[in-house]
Structure formats: C-alpha cells, structure tokens
Structure 1
C-alpha cells in the first residue's frame, strides 16, 4: 500500500486509452544527471511502462539549468506521445517564478500524464553544531542573524525553496549556499563548512544512523518510516512549513488525448505493481499515482505555493 495519498487516483477510460499505441521506442527525459532519486525512480517506472506499452521506454539524462534543458527538449518535441519527461517540483512549479529568461513555459508547453512519486525531506545539521533539536537551532539562528548557512542542490531546487519556506516560517536569517547537486553540499555539511541542509530523507539515512548528521525535523505531513523517531515540522510548531518534493510524468502539449490516456494508464499500472512499490520505497521515494486532470490541479496549487515563497524570499536566477 502507498504510505499516503496526496491525490486520488483512477485509471484512464479504457476505450480512450486502448485507441492509441506507441509505434516505436519512447524516450523518457530525466532533466538531471544519472544516479539521483529522480533518475532511479524514472528507471524503475520506465521498465514497467515498457511492459504495458509494448515498446521500450528509454531513459535519457539531460541535466543542466535547474532541469530547464531537459524540460525544453520535451516541450519542443513532436507531440506524438513518444517523448516523456520525469519532471520535479523545481522544474514544474518553481523555475517559472525564478528564471527570468526561460525559453519555454512548463504550464503552457508541457502536458500532464500523471504523478509518479513523492519524497519527504528532513532538516539535518552536523553534530558539531551545538543544538540538540529544532527549537535550539531556531534560537541559535535568531541569536546570530545571517551567521548560519544552509546548503542546497542549486537555486530553485526543492532543497532550496523548502528551506526558504522553513526559514520564513521560523523568522530567521540564514545564508544560502547553492551547490551543483546534493552530494557536495552534504559533504560540506558533515564537515561543518555549512550548518544546515533540508534534503531528501533517503540521502541522509545512513549518515544520521552513523551519527555523522543530526536530524531535527521531517518536512512531510507525517513522520517517515525511514526516520520514525524524527518529529515533523508541524509537530514542532511549524505546520506552514510542511513540504514534500515530488516527481511527475509529463509529455509535450498537443499530444492527442488518446495517447495521454494510454500513457497515463500504463504509468498508473506500473505504480501499483508490487515490485515497483518495493524498489521505489527501498530507494527512498514513495509511489504516488494520479490522473492527468488531478495532476494538472496539483501543479497549479504547487506553482501558487512556491511562487509565494520565491517572492517572499526574493529568489532570482539570471
């Protein structure tokens, strides 16, 4: 069973879905380098979608510019249903508010196929920082405005915007240090070069268990099975800072409704396969299905939410 349901799910209408079938291999663009949680989830899902569609679904990594390079490839593709995008929170709901010169519009040029996964995050600090819990971290930050820094995987990434959401809720000043991916940021965090990071739980489980990092708060709506002893932000007085990163499958605007229905049916079928649930949860992401219409409504709500954070935190990228 899924750990939680953000969106209700129902399969695409069978008659519409069965009126289209792919005629050649399908490309699924992952707009980041290989190896991250988005890439891992995409490959697990693509394998199962291939079986349901009767054609290979081939994952291609096209990273850069906060996901915009890969996103533009799909936005400019021929709208025939043979090009997919594994989009994420930043690319689909935040980048349009941050990048002043985006060459495409995710809302206009990409069409929803269905939700793919959610991934809760956690606030972690190095053991060398003299705080034992979130309240002590907030108190230290208020006593030393702007002296503490937090790392992220890049401007506009969920590791950046979710941290800004918490910062605004807590009323503290922190210095943002962007990295090219979470790996370098986590290494600097463990060494004490930076003092805090808000990152996907799966990326920190080992370090927390080995006491190389200290977990202060989970950001999801409830405690996560990988860190059941870590209280949520809501439990600690910051319900307005609840945040979950996520992935969703998109295609090119203009793809025929029958193709979208068939692709969505294959995606939703893949997400309830026991092997997919097992492999994805082991990788630290929770399968999450939706219809295209449900995803469209969710994307609008997320864009509104993160747009407010971008404006209030004054986040910009030239």
Structure 2
C-alpha cells in the first residue's frame, strides 16, 4: 500500500512538472489556429493573415488562418467558443458575430458577452452605403425618392440574416420610411459580387471593400457610418450629415480566445498583438484599404465589446427586430 502511494505521488509530481513545462511561459509550443468567421478576401481576412504572419515571427510557432464562414459569422465563432481554452484555437472576432447576430437568432449557439476572452483589437473601420453603378440615384436624397416610388422593389444585400449590415438595412428602412427587399448572402464578398453583377441594388459594404470598387466606378457610394468622414472616401457624407444619426456605427475586428483561457496566455498574445499592429507594413496596408490599425489591452477590448452589445441590443429593441 505504501509503495502504491509512493508511485501515485511520483505520478502526480511528474504530471505537475509536465503541466508546468507546458504552461503559459512555454506558450506557444505548437501551431495556433486563428478562425476567421467570414469568407476569404476583404480587409477582415487580409488583416487576420497579416497579423498571423507577424505573430508567427514573434512567437516562433505558425499561426494559421482558417476561414469558417456562415450564419453571420456565428459558425466560425462557435468553433472558437467551444474550443479548448488553451490558446491554440483563437478567433478573429468582429461586429456581427460578437455583438449582433446572436441577439437576433433563436437559440444562438453562444452568448457573445460570456463565450470569449478578448485579447486585442486589430482595426476599426466603417460601412459605406453603396449601390450598383447603374442605379439611377446620384445621392441619398435621390435614393430615397427612388425607393419610395417603387416600394419593395429596390433590393439590399447583406452578409447574412442577423448580421450588422442586415440590421443597418432594417434601421435605414425605418428611419428613411422606405421599403427595401432584403437579400442575405453567406458573406460580404458574395454580396459585393452580386452588386457588381447587377443582381442586387444596395448594400452596407465595409469601407475597405467599397473603396476600390467605388474608385474604379464599379459601385456608387452615398454615405459612411463613421462619426467623421472617411479619409479613404472623403467625398461621401456621414450618416449624421444626411439626417440618419442612428446609423453612426463603426466596424471593429480583433483577436479573441475562448473564455477561460489563462490570463498569462492572453497577456502574452496581447503584448505580441501590440507589436504586430504597430508594424509599418500592416498599418499602411490597412490605411490603403480604408481601415485604421488599432491595438488595445484585453480590458479595453472587453469594454468595447460591452458597449457594442448594449448598443445593438438597444437598436434591436427600438426597431422591434425579432429573432429568426
């Protein structure tokens, strides 16, 4: 019996030693996956891939981006929410799956306020209200007149039911007193392609995706959702300037981990993110895409998520938007 106890004690000590060796100080000791909950392409995916490369160089292990699109970003973020909280499966969280879509979904797979441990912001941007190039409306006033003359016939795309662009569309319909036909797509790129192909008329497109298409004359732009005019598209007024102040909402995206991830791991990742986001090439690439590179502490990111969740919950309640 005494021998058995000694063996058991030795086994416990060995396990503790192994655990210590594989603890936060040794992190990461194997490849890390970053789940991007949207389709490949666009600034969100680009930023994740650039940051993954920079984190790999700093931390000495591969950071591999994996796209898991669908359900307004919830499919990918649910993978993160259910992953082991050890820092080896991370998420590239953004507005829709982190503060919007779960609140307008019946039986959502996770609570965005509880399922994740924020690490750091990576960028902040906006949406631009865009249309197909040949839509006969030169400005927002014309657009409203056109929609009112053809109730329910002007279509507006989104990156999925319950996504932030979908809610923005619903808010626009109510605030401008117009009836638009909502057409959900699997992701933003699919919606933009539908605009370019003339299958849909309008979309709240991320400014990063809208900028090259507008500058090339392939899409029209009407207004941006930032508090101030966007440097990338300074010719377009803000939503407040066109009389739609409730549509003043910024896009954010950044790195999150599953809830319960050890604080030392989060702090190590946050420190690495601060260096990565400060990288000159990353910042210049984001600026060209109409995005502002922005890092944060885990606490600052958590506070931003809390504000966005509260804001969207108020929007959903005020506009009588029910879960689907």
Distance 1:60 1:67 in 2: 13
Q: Deviations over 1:246-293 (max 9, x none)?
A: 212110111111111111111111111112112222344321111111
Q: 2:153 aligns with which of 147, 158, 162?
A: 147
Deviates more, 1:104-113 or 1:259-268: 104-113
Distance 2:71 2:160 in 1: 9
Distance 2:124 2:115 in 1: 23
In structure 1, the partner of 2:203 is 197
Q: Does residue 40 of structure 2 align to residue 34 of structure 1?
A: yes
In structure 2, the partner of 1:88 is 94
Distance 1:267 1:214 in 2: 35
Q: Deviations over 1:34-69 (max 9, x none)?
A: 223222110111111222223221212222332222
Q: Does residue 238 of structure 2 align to residue 219 of structure 1?
A: no
TM score, norm. by length of structure 2: 0.85
In structure 2, the partner of 1:295 is 301
Answer with 1 or 2: which has the greater Rg. 2
Q: Tell me the SS of whatever aligns to 2:285.
A: helix
After TM superposition, give the deviation of residue 190 of structure 1 in Å. Answer: 4.0
After TM superposition, give the deviation of residue 143 of structure 1 in Å. Answer: 4.2
Distance 1:139 1:247 in 2: 35
Deviates more, 1:194-203 or 1:165-174: 165-174
Q: Tell me the SS of whatever aligns to 2:311.
A: helix
Q: Does residue 251 of structure 2 align to residue 245 of structure 1?
A: yes
Distance 1:129 1:78 in 2: 49
List aligned pairs for 1:90-105, cutoff 5 A: 90-105=96-111
In structure 1, the partner of 2:239 is 233
Q: Deviations over 1:142-186 (max 9, x none)?
A: 344333221112112232222333333323322211122234433
CA gap of 1:46–1:193, structure 2 versus 1, over 3 A, is: closer
RMSD (Å) for aligned C-alpha atoms:
2.2
CA gap of 1:191–1:104, structure 2 versus 1, over 3 A, is: closer
Q: Tell me the SS of whatever aligns to 2:143.
A: helix
| Runs (4+) off by over 6 Å | none
Q: Tell me the SS of whatever aligns to 1:115.
A: strand
Distance 1:294 1:279 in 2: 24
Q: Does residue 142 of structure 2 align to residue 136 of structure 1?
A: yes
After TM superposition, give the deviation of residue 213 of structure 1 in Å. Answer: 2.2
Deviates more, 1:129-138 or 1:292-301: 129-138
- Number of residues paired by the alignment? 300
Unmatched runs of 5 consecutive residues or more in structure 2: 1-23
**Structure with bigger RCO (C-alpha 8 Å, 6+ apart):** 1
Distance 1:67 1:184 in 2: 14
Deviates more, 1:293-302 or 1:18-27: 18-27
Q: Tell me the SS of whatever aligns to 1:295.
A: helix
Distance 2:44 2:196 in 1: 23
Unmatched runs of 5 consecutive residues or more in structure 1: 1-17
CA gap of 1:142–1:61, structure 2 versus 1, over 3 A, is: same
In structure 2, the partner of 1:314 is 321
TM score, norm. by length of structure 1: 0.86
Q: 1:269 aligns with which of 275, 284, 289?
A: 275
Distance 2:102 2:290 in 1: 27
Q: Tell me the SS of whatever aligns to 1:227.
A: coil
Q: Does residue 85 of structure 2 align to residue 79 of structure 1?
A: yes
Distance 2:189 2:109 in 1: 28
CA gap of 1:80–1:227, structure 2 versus 1, over 3 A, is: same
Tell whether the 8 Å contact from 1:71 to 1:106 is kept in structure 2 after alignment. Answer: no
Q: Tell me the SS of whatever aligns to 1:108.
A: coil
Q: 2:127 aligns with which of 107, 121, 142?
A: 121
